[in-house]
A and B are shown apart, each in its own frame.
Chain A
Amino acid sequence: MRKSVVLVVLAVLMLAVMPVLAQEPIDVRVWIAFTDAGRLGWAQERAAEFNELFPQYNVVVEGYANYEELFAATALASEQGSLPAVVQYFEVATQDARDSGYFRPIAEAIAGRTEINGLPVNLDDIIAPVREYYTLDGQFTSMPWNTSSAIFFSNMTILNAAGIDAAPATWADLDAACEAVMALENAPEYCWSFPNHGWFFEQWIAQQNEAFANNGNGRDERATEVTLNNPGALALMSFLDDQVAKGYLYYSGAQGGAAWATVDQAFSTQQIAMAAYSSSDTRIYTQFGVDNGYEVLASFLPYNQETGWTGNLIGGASLWLTTGLPTEVEDGALSFLLYIIQPEHAASWHQTTGYIAITNGAIELLESQGWFDENPNFRVASDQLSQSTVTPATSGALVGAFPSIRNVVTQAVDTVLLTDQDPAAVLDAASAEANVILGEYNLLSAPE
């Protein structure tokens, strides 16, 4: 009897002491919105390496099906007081993330340190348009990770046959190229296409240095109004309307995910000769040509020759550090974020996925390995971003309820392309509708 009591006491003591002896690692939970082996797998491999290098930490990466599901899980975790250390938010939810109160700016957490756990803090190495997008109130706020830009893919086999030897740089070039392509004896069904997603509208007006919202695109102060009816947007809509009227632009009418898929299908089967698309699919688009026997050239997104090219903005998502973490967890999370933007990791992320290499260090590394010489299409997006002039317009808008406002833009483009309505009137109506949404968002979510 007494013996067993002693044994139990010993066992309890052992259990209590063991973690101390074994230096139980600190859990750092990271939530991301990917579930595919390529991207979630990549993050989990980096976490495993990191945990081996820094045995005091145990980074656990969990994948959620999509951004919406991840946001809902984050809101719930916040209510229950069990936020993870790091959460991924996509770029247009930046203002929503900021207003949520769940997160702490990364610069504030770094607090001027030049290295954390021996990992150098070199945020200036991140290429400018990307760094600017996630710099709010002059403070570097969240860590960019998967970053892309809108670029242009041309089927050079068709273009060469039509006597065009370079990808179009401007809208006028595109129009001229289409005239030549459609005059071919075995012309494709249409000349070019793009997925009807609000992001392309944002890209084309940023190129003309037109802001999407007031108050410095929402970067000087909270945006209280969107300006969808600005001259750049009107020029864009008129251009697109004209392209449809001439039978050059193919608009499938598909919405949501299918909008992207119909462009893939039309480009791969050569029913169109050119497509505006996300650089995240550079690998897939290049492969279309290899599989079907034509040459695919990636180039900058064509711009309005009347206004010139100021720059393009980014797309993708960033990693946010949650607020109220114990110092040791926060340092662990910061170390992991710094770890994955080390040149070799940022480079491998680019090669695995097609998202751009976000640091100059990574770009130099890839250059020295000859990666871009072998895969010239892969450098277009980062070139387009690093050559962009950083202005409020090209930094990208910060607007509340941006995902909802994007749907308004998509509907406006849909209306212009499919009806005879005046683009200016459509844009005015869209602006008014979007401003009601923004007003309601600000009423409910802006700090009082």
Chain B
Amino acid sequence: MSFQFPILIIATLLGALYMALRFRRLRLSIPLGAGVGAVGGIVGSLLFMLPLNYCMFDPERDLIDAVFGVILIALGMAIILIPSALMIGSAVERRRNPNSESAGGARQGQFRGLVAPFMLLLPTLIILALFLYYPSLETFRLSTLLTRLGAPRSAFVCVDNFTSLASNTVYLNAFATTLFLSVAIVALSLALGLLVATAVFQPIKGASIYRTLLVWPYAISPAVAGVIFLLLFNPTGGIINYFLNNTIGISIPWLNNPSAAPWVVVIASVWKILGYNILFYLAGLQNIGRDLTESAAIDGANAIKRFYYITLPLLSPITFFLLITNTTFAFFDTFGTIDYLTGGGPLRATTTLMYNIYEVGVTNGDLGKAAAQSIVLFALVIGFTILQFRTAGQRVTYGA
């Protein structure tokens, strides 16, 4: 086809330019860098295009497919070029400073050949290949197909399963719901976790009993949490409405009001993860030396200032760790709670990306679309994690 050749040329040139610049910074031969970059650019551009055969550039396809194709080519090049540049950089660094701490330290315990380390890794690699890598590759293959569970045939649909998501209102709605639920769950569970941990850290009678009891909800499965909260929040005959009705005379339609139902999911999920956060914050609080807070107190800082200027910054590694684990929890582990509590409703107000994948793939048996959605979700979580490392991660103090 006519457009493949220009694409390859552009990929070659871009790859060569990128590597040449990298090599110049490393004070290496620029032409050599250009050569390596050219090869990397070609390989990278073919990473997705070889299996897909440039299908998104076919004349009968929409503009959005072509744009997606360009993104895929760029992504493939980035996947090949950036790690190779980093590897070359660190190799050069090691060669030039053979006695630097990292290089020397690593050499001590290194294997001579390649056989022994790989033999030791083999059992893990086999399990990973069978249960992680192969299913992942299969997910990529399925995402390009129109295929249903149990159907005798399937049809190749190029990147339709991905590009159709851009105009799929149910999906975009699920996207917004996921963001809202995640932000609410993470913010509330971190804030409450820190508050409760600070409270039970005070020397009070029976503190160890409180601490044990507070961690309990974490041991309960998300599905059971869903059932417990369904009983509590059930609009008719639920305990919460019974209580509200008897005290202030109102009853809230928790489960058939699209504005109220997401909050029930937030409350149930925060309750579920809170024990975990308390546990980590307690451990963090125990590690803060009393001398720091004491000297600050002598200098005239009150409890709030001591908490804000000393405790909070010293807890930042734990907060950062909890931020990432809680985000992962909000994305993936709220599924069981949602399934039992609201079933994604009402009006899909609690249908998250994860729940939508379940509905499309498992309930409706539409494997291709579900595979595409799970790849997008996977990319999103990786993206968020990188973003968190770049932004929040830089404010973390690990102590001097």
Contacts and interface: CB of A to CB of B under 8 A. Distances in A.
Given A250-B236, A256-B343, A415-B347, A440 B365 contact: no
A266 B343 contact: no
Interface string B101-112: 000000000000
A440 B152 contact: no
A253 B150 contact: no
B363 interface: yes
A160 interface: no
Contact of B346 (A75, A100, A418): A418
B344 interface: yes
Interface string B222-239: 000000001000111100
Contact of B234 (A259, A262, A414, A443): A262
Given A265-B237, A441-B151, A414 B346 contact: yes
Given A96-B150, A407-B364, A253 B236 contact: no
Contacts of B345: 253-255, 414
A266 B237 contact: yes
Interface string A63-94: 00000100110010000000000000000000
B152 A252 contact: no
B306 interface: no
Interface in A91-127: 96, 100-101
A253 B256 contact: yes
A255 B230 CA distance: 12
Contact of A254 (B153, B237, B255): B255
A437 interface: yes
Contact of A271 (B154, B237, B253, B344): B237
A387 interface: no
Contact of A407 (B230, B257, B258, B359): B359
A385 B282 CA distance: 65
B189 interface: no
A250 B347 CA distance: 16
B141 interface: no
A124 B291 CA distance: 91
A259 B235 CA distance: 12
Interface string B271-312: 000000000000000000000000000000000000000000
Given A253-B257, A443-B155, A444-B151, A262 B344 contact: no
A411 interface: yes
Contacts of B235: 252-253, 262
A250 B364 CA distance: 28
Contact of A401 (B153, B344, B346, B364): B364
A443 B394 CA distance: 52
Contacts of B234: 252, 262, 265
Interface string A293-315: 00000000000000000000000
B256 A404 contact: no
A197 B362 CA distance: 18
Contact of A101 (B152, B237, B261, B347): B152
A251 interface: yes
B211 interface: no
A72 B344 CA distance: 24
B147 interface: yes
A75 B152 CA distance: 11
A7 interface: no
A407 B347 contact: no
Most B Cβ at <10 Å: residue of A250, A253, A414, A418: A253
B342 interface: yes
Most A Cβ at <10 Å: residue of B146, B152, B236: B236
A252 B253 CA distance: 8
Contact of A255 (B148, B150, B344, B365): B344
Nearest to A253: B256
B153 A445 contact: yes
A161 interface: no
A68 B149 CA distance: 11
Q: What secondary structure prevails in chain B residues at the interface with A?
A: loop
A26 B342 CA distance: 48
Contacts of A62: none
B129 to A, nearest CB: 23
Interface in B34-64: none
Nearest to B346: A253
Most B Cβ at <10 Å: residue of A72, A255, A269: A255
Contact of A71 (B150, B153, B343): B150
B347 A418 contact: yes
A419 interface: yes
Contacts of B253: 253
A250 B153 CA distance: 44
Nearest to B342: A255
B251 to A, nearest CB: 9
A441 to B, nearest CB: 6
B152 A266 contact: no
Given A441-B151, A444-B151, A255 B146 contact: no
B348 interface: yes
Interface string B130-152: 00000000000000001111111
B70 to A, nearest CB: 28
Nearest to A102: B150
B95 to A, nearest CB: 55
Interface in A397-448: 401, 403-404, 407, 411, 414-415, 418-419, 437, 440-441, 443-445
Nearest to A417: B256
B364 A271 contact: no
Given A254-B342, A418-B347, A419-B347, A269 B237 contact: yes
B365 A404 contact: yes
B66 to A, nearest CB: 24
B366 A404 contact: yes
B186 to A, nearest CB: 25
B151 A445 contact: yes
A166 interface: no
Contacts of A253: 235, 253, 255-257, 261, 342, 345-346
A75 B154 CA distance: 16
Contacts of B237: 265-266, 269, 271
A179 interface: no
B174 to A, nearest CB: 13
A414 B236 contact: no
A415 B173 CA distance: 15
A188 to B, nearest CB: 10
A189 B258 CA distance: 21
Given A252-B236, A253-B261, A443 B364 contact: no
A258 interface: yes
Given A262-B236, A404-B366, A440 B146 contact: yes
A191 to B, nearest CB: 13
6 contacts: A72-B149, A250-B236, A262-B235, A411-B348, A440-B366, A445-B148
Given A403-B364, A444-B146, 5 more contacts: A189-B236, A251-B256, A255-B346, A401-B148, A443-B153
Of all A-B residue pairs in the complex, the 7 with the closest CB atoms, nearest first, are A253-B256, A255-B343, A253-B346, A444-B151, A404-B364, A256-B343, A255-B345
Interface of A: 68, 71-72, 75, 96, 100-101, 189, 250-256, 258-259, 262, 265-266, 269, 271, 401, 403-404, 407, 411, 414-415, 418-419, 437, 440-441, 443-445
Interface of B: 146-155, 230, 234-237, 253, 255-258, 261, 339-340, 342-348, 359, 362-366
